[in-house]
Structure 1
Amino acid sequence: MEVQGKIKLVGNTETVGNNGFRKRDIVVTTEEQYPQHISIQFVQDKCDLLNAYQPGQDVKISINLRGREWVSPQGETKYFNSIQGWRIEALQPAAAQGSVPPPVPPADAFEPATNFSDDQKEDDLPF
C-alpha cells in the first residue's frame, strides 16, 4: 500500500526498551477533498530513511498495516493497529517532470509570409 501527500512533521528517532528498539514517526497530510493527517512509523534501520526529508515536501510512502493483540494484567484483551513505513520517495512537481510544453518564441522571431510576386498572388491554387 502507499500513502501520498505533503510532510507535516518529521519526528526524532526514539530508542524504546532495553534491547535498543528504534522508532521514528512522520506525519503526512493527504491532498484530497478532506485532507487526512496520517502518522506513519518507521522502525529500526528504516528510521534513517527520514533523514533526507523535511516538512513541506511532497512524498510517496510505501506502508504495511500492522495489528497486534495485548492482554492486560486483568485479563482484558485489546487490539492495536499501526501504519509502518518501509520506503519513502520524494515526488517532483509536475513542472519539473517535463509535462509543461516548451515556451513559444515571440512573434517577431518569425518572418512574415507576404513576400509573394504578383503572378503568385493571382494563381496560387494547383488546379
Structure 2
Amino acid sequence: MDFSGKIIAVLTPKSGVAKATGNEWKAQEYVIENHDQYPKKMCFEVFGAEKIEQFNIQMGEELNVSFDIDARQWNDRWFNSIRAWKVERVAAGATMGAPAQGAPVPPPFPTAAPEFTPGDVKDDLPF
C-alpha cells in the first residue's frame, strides 16, 4: 500500500533489546498527512537503525511511503502496526492533483457575463 503527503511530526525514537535473541533494535515513528479535500493522517514506523538512516526522513518533506499493515496480540488485545518498507521523495515542483501530461485540460470559465440587448429579452413569464 502507498500513502503520499507531508511529514507533520517526527516522534521520539524507541529502542531496546529483544528478549528472545538479545539483539538491540531501534524504531522511529512519523506522522504524514495527505492533501485530500479532507486531509487524512497516518502514523507509520520505520524499523531498524539502517533503515532509519537510509530513509533520513525530515519534518516537512513531501513523501510517498510504501508500507505493510500487520496486527499482533498482547494481553488479549490487538494492535495494528504500519511499517514502511520504501520511502520516495516527491519531486520538487510537482503539485499534487495536477493533471498528468497529455491529459485534456478543460476550457477556462468565461470571465464576464454575456451581453444582451433589449431586443433579446422575451417576457414569457405568466406573472
Shorter-chain TM band: 0.5 to 0.7
Contact kept? 1:4, 1:61, Cα under 8 Å: yes
The residue that corresponds to 2:59 in the other structure is 55
The residue that corresponds to 2:16 in the other structure is 16
Which secondary structure state, in structure 2, belongs to the residue aligned with residue 94 of structure 1?
coil
The residue that corresponds to 1:85 in the other structure is 84
Q: Which has the higher helix share?
A: 1
**Displacement, 1:56?**
1.7
Task: Give 4+ residue runs of structure 1 displaced > 3 Å after superposition.
Answer: none
Equivalent in 27, 30, 44 of residue 31 of structure 2: 27
Q: TM-score, normalised by structure 1?
A: 0.62
CA RMSD of aligned residues (A): 2.2
Q: TM-score, normalised by structure 2?
A: 0.62
CA distance in 2, matches of 1:82, 1:62: 13
The residue that corresponds to 2:51 in the other structure is 46
Letter in 2 for 1:11: L
Larger Rg: 1
Runs of 5+ consecutive residues of structure 1 not aligned to the other structure: 101-127
Runs of 5+ consecutive residues of structure 2 not aligned to the other structure: 102-127
